[in-house]
């Protein structure tokens, strides 16, 4: 699966997962815009050297790459990142939203700055880079957008209310981009990776040696390729294990008389999944409305 002639933007690719993605796609012929602010794990500071080091690695492999150190956290920065790719290579075929920071703290102790900074980089960054890239892709009738969500967003994690909320928001953004891009050859998907990076050092225990960033990048390469057959999906990716994460709902119950007491008395059936109870996986609001309409019709 080659990427000859394709142009790829990867945010936060000065190290960790982003660097691994950049090298994987460059080996397959892609031209890479390596974006990295070069800041610390909490988002402070900055240096152009992180992005340039990865560019140098790609060039040493015989590939093509350009460095960029604009921030994803502002509309101007997002526009500048996409424009840098267009200026360097003439187009944008793939965007990998990978940039991220951490400001962990128990929810009741988390201050507004910690919330704002994490939302700015992860969630708003997803908006600010994806939107100008989406416009370019829409004009050329082709594109692939891969966003990096997290198990913290899909399932929750203590001390990461800001990070989890931002990562869950990226799933909603991905689903909408998939719907709005469908008629223009644009596919949008997300990954929830677990890998040994500076964000996860010291928390993976015995698994650390099996969770190299390089085990995640092949999935990104597939989702970035023209052969990608899915859109609007989210995948857990870790150490060679890949699984689809579903946003689903139970069959539910239509209450003949709606009251708090009726909810209490029917909660087991409302929550029941599997065991002969059909689960639904609506892929858009319109499909959810159809499910609700059918249930209400059958209950009459």
- 222 flagged as catalytic: no
Instruction: Supply 49's token pair.
Output: 């050297």
Active-site entry in 128, 163, 222, 235? 163
CA dist., res. 111 & res. 64, Å (int): 42
CA dist., res. 164 & res. 161, Å (int): 5
Q: How many residues does the chain have?
A: 300
Return the H-helix or E-strand segment holding 64: strand 64-68
Burial class (CB in 10 A: 0-12, 13-18, 19+), 208: middle
Burial class (CB in 10 A: 0-12, 13-18, 19+), 90: exposed
CA dist., res. 55 & res. 181, Å (int): 30
Cα-flanking dihedrals φ and ψ of residue 119, to 5°? -65, -40
Return the H-helix or E-strand segment holding 186: strand 186-193
E-only strand ranges, 194-263: 234-238, 241-245
CB 79 within 8 A of CB 92: no
Residues serving a catalytic function are 163
């Amino acid at each position: 699966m080659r990427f000859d002639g394709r142009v790829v933007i990867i945010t936060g690719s000065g190290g960790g997962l982003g660097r691994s993605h950049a090298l994987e796609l460059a080996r397959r012929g892609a031209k890479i815009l390596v974006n990295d602010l070069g800041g610390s794990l909490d988002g402070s500071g900055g240096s152009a050297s992180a992005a340039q080091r990865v560019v140098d690695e790609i060039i040493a492999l015989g590939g093509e790459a350009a460095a960029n150190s604009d921030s994803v956290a502002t509309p101007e920065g997002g526009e500048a990142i996409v424009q840098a790719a267009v200026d360097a290579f003439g187009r944008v075929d793939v965007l990998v939203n990978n940039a991220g920071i951490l400001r962990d703290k128990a929810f009741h102790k988390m201050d507004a700055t910690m919330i704002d900074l994490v939302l700015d980089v992860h969630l708003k960054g997803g908006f600010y880079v994806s939107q100008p890239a989406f416009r370019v892709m829409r004009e050329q009738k082709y594109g692939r957008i891969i966003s990096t969500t997290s198990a913290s967003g899909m399932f929750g994690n203590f001390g990461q209310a800001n990070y989890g909320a931002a990562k869950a928001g990226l799933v909603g953004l991905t689903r909408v981009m998939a719907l709005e891009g469908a008629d223009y050859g644009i596919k949008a998907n997300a990954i929830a990776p677990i890998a040994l990076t500076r964000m996860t050092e010291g928390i993976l225990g015995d698994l650390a040696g099996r969770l190299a960033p390089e085990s995640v990048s092949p999935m990104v390469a597939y989702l970035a390729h023209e052969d990608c057959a899915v859109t609007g999906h989210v995948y857990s990716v870790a150490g060679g294990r890949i699984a689809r994460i579903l946003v689903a709902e139970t069959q539910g119950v239509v209450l003949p008389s709606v009251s708090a007491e009726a909810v209490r008395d029917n909660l087991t059936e409302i929550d029941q999944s599997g065991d002969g109870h059909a689960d639904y996986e609506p892929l858009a609001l319109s499909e959810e409305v159809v499910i609700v309409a059918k249930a209400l019709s059958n209950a009459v």
